[in-house]
Structure 1
């Protein structure tokens, strides 16, 4: 979520997205009006994306604690 400050930075955002995707990341964008009143839906979209495409470089074993 970039906020309103990115509304006029389409070229910058496109280059940034291209770079991140070249590293294997998936970029998902949400507009402020979508996030604030409906955070559960946004979290659901993120969770679905993580199930399909995990991080290209996960943390090494033991670096992150598992929460019950």
Structure 2
């Protein structure tokens, strides 16, 4: 299992299905953090599979979305 998972999918990709796959694979622990990078115009899902959005940080056109297990 992993403590931190960093996702850098194509900017136009929907994060929801990717987060669901990671949750289903059971590769993260209860206190793990998943960080997903995406374009600022692409919304971060509030909830995806077993994950819930914890916070976001914007850097120019890039957003880092931080997810924890719900």
The answer, yes or no, to whether TM exceeds 0.5 is: no
The structure richer in strand per residue is: 2
TM, length-normalised to structure 2: 0.29
The structure richer in helix per residue is: 1
Q: Which has the larger radius of gyration?
A: 1
TM, length-normalised to structure 1: 0.29
